[in-house]
Amino acid sequence: MNDSDTVFGLLATTRYVPRLRLERSEVAARHRWMAPGLKSLAKGQRAMANWDEDVVTMAVEAGRLLLTSAPALGATELTLASTTLPFVDRLNAGIAAAAVGLGADAVVRDVASSARAALTELAGALRRPAPETTRIIVAAERRTAKPASAQELIFGDGAAAASVGTGRAIATFVAARSMHADLVDHFRQSGEAYDYGWEERWVRDEGYMKLATDAIRQCLADAGVSASDVSHFALPAPLPRINEAVAKRVGIAPTALVSTAVDTVGDLGCAQPLAMLDIALRAAAPGALILVAAFGSGCDVLLLKRTAAACPGGVPDAGKPETNYLKYLSFTGQLNLAWGMRAEMDNKTALTAAWRDHARTERFEGGRCERCGTVQFPRSRLCVNPACRAQDTQQPSSLADVPARVMSHTTDFLGYTPDPPFQFGHIDFEGGGRVLMEFTDTDVGELAVGLPLRMVYRVKEFDHNRGFRRYFWKATPTRAADSSANATTESN
Residue 488 has pLDDT above 70, yes or no: no
Prior bond of 378 cis (ω within 30°): yes
What was the pLDDT predicted at 3? 46
Domains of the chain, by residue range, sit at 7-331, 341-364+399-487
Q: Which residues contact 87 (CB under 8 A, 6 or more apart)?
A: none
Q: Are 176 and 226 in contact (CB under 8 A)?
A: no
Read off the DSSP letter of residue 70. S
Model confidence band, residue 482 (pLDDT cutoffs 50, 70, 90): low
d(CA 47, CA 127): 32
Strand partners, 461: 470
Model confidence band, residue 486 (pLDDT cutoffs 50, 70, 90): very low
Residue 46 has pLDDT above 80, yes or no: yes
**H-helix or E-strand spanning residue 178:** strand 171-180
Residue 143 has pLDDT above 80, yes or no: yes
Helix axis angle, 92-100 to 55-69, nearest 10°: 40
d(CA 197, CA 187): 7
Model confidence band, residue 487 (pLDDT cutoffs 50, 70, 90): very low
d(CA 140, CA 299): 19
Return the CATH number of 7-331, one of 3.20.20.70, 3.40.47.10, 2.40.50.140, 3.10.180.10.
3.40.47.10
Q: Are 248 and 254 in contact (CB under 8 A)?
A: yes
d(CA 261, CA 254): 17
Q: Are 216 and 303 in contact (CB under 8 A)?
A: no
Q: How many C-beta atoms lie closer than 10 Å to residue 410's C-beta?
A: 14
Question: What count of Cα atoms within 13 Å lies in the side-chain half-sphere of residue 26?
Answer: 14
Chain length of the chain: 492
Q: Which residues contact 249 (CB under 8 A, 6 or more apart)?
A: 209, 213
Q: Are 368 and 374 in contact (CB under 8 A)?
A: yes
Closest CA to 147 of 335, 386, 417, 428: 335
Strand partners, 459: 471
pLDDT digits (tens, 9 = 90+) for 414-435: 999 999 999 999 999 999 999 9
pLDDT digits (tens, 9 = 90+) for 194-240: 999 999 999 999 999 999 999 999 999 999 999 999 999 999 988 88
Task: Provide DSSP, 369-400.
Answer: ETTT--EESS--SB---TTT--BS-EEEEE-T
Q: Which residues contact 59 (CB under 8 A, 6 or more apart)?
A: 80, 82, 92, 96, 138, 139, 140, 159, 161
Lowest-confidence pick of 145-154, 304-313, 399-408, 475-484: 475-484
d(CA 97, CA 105): 11
pLDDT digits (tens, 9 = 90+) for 259-283: 999 999 999 999 999 999 999 999 9
What was the pLDDT predicted at 73? 63
